């Protein structure tokens, strides 16, 4: 086992030699390696789950809320507002509620109506997200013995109690329903325009309750609650950020916006409904390119951190010592001019298949990568495409007249909100 001094010398040499690809920080309690080149990121993110762990420096703040979950284990309203003369809207505010509402339906089969009225549960989720960011920025609050005695720590406990109480009630009620009524119907309806039978399809809670390991053992209520809370935490704010920044970028580029709108109108022109089916999502290639370029330029999550239980080798034969915290800078990688020429320019054609074929697999990592990547990325991309497509079909978006500045928090936001002006469009004539 190498000494601490030898380990720090190795990291220092690594940074001196490869300063264009990583940086190093020696703090009083930990060493941090920050990486922003795909050749360095790839071997770290693809390392086996058995040797890569979530460090406690930040993720530990989430544990009282999310428990031992997978993350930590070792539109109609807009039309009404525009009609009422409120055409200028803060996209983050409304989209966060929309994605939260969608997740509650998918996770709990719960109609929160949170886009129209507030609730204690919704307020608690927003409170927890805010408090986690505040705690990260206050070094004295990193110690539990100080944090839990502070007013912020007491607020965190109270918000956790509300969230855990809601989840616990849903899990217990659903378990009782499954014991009494049997398993819910799970079916796929691929028909277009036909009336669907009204059957309750299995939601996320049902899948967790019904899951069994190879020995026939299921998850406990505590384990199910932790996974459900994690799904809610990881799924609404990140997706809301992604959607908001896509709409912002398209408001700045009317030619791209028009091309996306034409694409979705062509897709739906013979339909009697605006419902999009799963197979429709592959028929929106240019819209998908615009979404990916926005995720590159404005990644909802700016970085992920990992800690390794053994020395990790990166290009050039250099070694990151065991125990160092590796911060994979998603923002830095997505804005690295060696990989992305003119990185601050919004250009969806970067993701044309012809232009992407020779690019590193880890040059674009909005959902991280490897065995600990985002488990909900397919859900997120599906929601992004559906929301962007139907929003552009119904509205023309233009800048809101307010300078937009990045505000990196738990997810990427905008200082003072992200304001856009919406113009209602007439429904396309079939």
Residue 222 lies in a domain: yes
For residue 22, give the 3-state DSSP assignment: strand
Residue 22 lies in a domain: yes
List Cβ neighbours of 400 (8 Å cut-off, separation of 6 or more). Answer: 88, 89, 418, 419, 420, 421
Nearest Cα to Cα of residue 98 among 391, 396, 426: 391
Position with higher pLDDT, 22 vs 300: 300
* Buried/exposed code over 12-49 (b: 16+ C-beta within 10 A; e: otherwise): eebbeebeebbbbeeeeeebbbbbbbbbbbbebbebee
Residue 191 lies in a domain: no
Residue 312: which domain range?
A: 4-74+85-186+201-424
State pTM to two decimals: 0.77
Taking residue 298's Cβ as centre, other Cβ atoms within 10 Å add up to 24
Q: Are 88 and 158 in contact (CB under 8 A)?
A: no
The distance in angstroms from the start CA to the end CA of the chain is 71
pLDDT in tens, 208-226: 888 888 888 888 888 888 8
Residue 430 lies in a domain: no
d(CA 423, CA 420): 10
Percentage of the chain modeled with pLDDT above 90: 30
CATH number of 106's domain: 1.10.630.10
Residue 195 lies in a domain: no
List Cβ neighbours of 352 (8 Å cut-off, separation of 6 or more). Answer: 289
Residue with tokens 């930590």: 72
d(CA 174, CA 55): 34
Q: How confident is the model at residue 189 (pLDDT cuts 50, 70, 90)?
A: very low
Residue 41 lies in a domain: yes
pLDDT value at residue 7: 47
Q: Which two tokens stand for residue 319?
A: 């070694």
Phi then psi for 221, rounded to 5 degrees? -60, -40
Long-range contacts from 22-27, C-beta under 8 angstroms, 24+ separation: none
Q: 88: part of which helix (H) or strand (E)?
A: strand 88-90
Position with higher pLDDT, 204 vs 430: 204
For the chain, what is the domain count?
Answer: 1
Over residues 298-308, the mean pLDDT reads 89
Residue 79 lies in a domain: no
| Conformational region of residue 317, where left means phi above 0, alpha means psi within -120 to 50, and beta covers everything else | left
Residue 287 lies in a domain: yes
Position with higher pLDDT, 17 vs 362: 362
Over residues 332-357, the mean pLDDT reads 94
């Amino acid at each position: 086992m190498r000494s601490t001094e030898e380990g720090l010398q190795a990291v220092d040499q690594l940074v001196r030699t490869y300063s264009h690809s990583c940086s190093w920080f020696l703090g009083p309690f930990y060493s941090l390696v920050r990486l922003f080149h795909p050749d360095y990121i790839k071997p770290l993110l693809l390392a086996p789950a058995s040797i890569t762990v979530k460090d406690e420096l930040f993720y530990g703040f989430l544990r009282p809320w999310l428990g031992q979950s997978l993350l930590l284990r070792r539109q109609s309203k807009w039309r009404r507002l525009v009609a009422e003369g409120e055409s200028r809207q803060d996209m983050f505010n409304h989209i966060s509620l929309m994605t939260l509402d969608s997740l509650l339906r998918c996770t709990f089969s719960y109609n929160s109506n949170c886009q129209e009225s507030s609730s204690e549960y919704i307020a608690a989720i927003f409170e927890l997200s805010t408090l986690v960011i505040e705690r990260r920025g206050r070094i004295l609050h990193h110690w539990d013995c100080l944090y839990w005695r502070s007013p912020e720590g007491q607020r965190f406990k109270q918000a956790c109690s509300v969230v855990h109480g809601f989840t616990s009630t849903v899990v217990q009620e659903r378990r009782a329903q499954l014991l009494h009524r049997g398993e819910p119907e799970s079916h796929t309806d691929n028909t277009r325009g036909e009336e669907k039978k009204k059957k309750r399809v299995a939601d996320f809670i049902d899948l967790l309750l019904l899951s069994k390991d190879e020995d026939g053992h299921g998850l406990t209520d505590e384990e199910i609650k932790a996974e459900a809370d994690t799904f809610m935490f990881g799924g609404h704010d990140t997706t809301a950020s992604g959607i908001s920044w896509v709409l912002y970028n398209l408001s700045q580029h009317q030619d791209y916006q028009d091309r996306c709108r034409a694409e979705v109108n062509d897709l739906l022109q013979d339909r009697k409904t605006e419902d999009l089916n799963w197979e429709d999502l592959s028929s929106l290639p240019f819209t998908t390119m615009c979404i990916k370029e926005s995720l590159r330029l404005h990644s909802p999550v700016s970085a992920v951190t990992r800690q390794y239980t053994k020395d990790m080798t990166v290009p050039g034969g250099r070694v990151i010592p065991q125990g160092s915290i590796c911060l994979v800078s998603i923002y830095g990688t997505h804005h690295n001019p060696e990989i992305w020429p003119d990185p601050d320019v919004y250009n969806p054609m970067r993701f044309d298949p012809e232009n992407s074929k020779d690019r590193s697999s880890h040059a674009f990592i909005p959902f991280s990568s490897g065995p600990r990547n985002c488990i909900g990325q397919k859900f997120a991309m599906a929601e992004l495409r559906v929301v962007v497509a139907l929003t552009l079909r119904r509205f023309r978006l233009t800048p809101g007249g307010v300078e937009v500045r990045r505000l990196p928090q738990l997810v990427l936001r905008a200082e003072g909100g992200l304001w856009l002006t919406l113009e209602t469009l007439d429904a396309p004539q079939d």
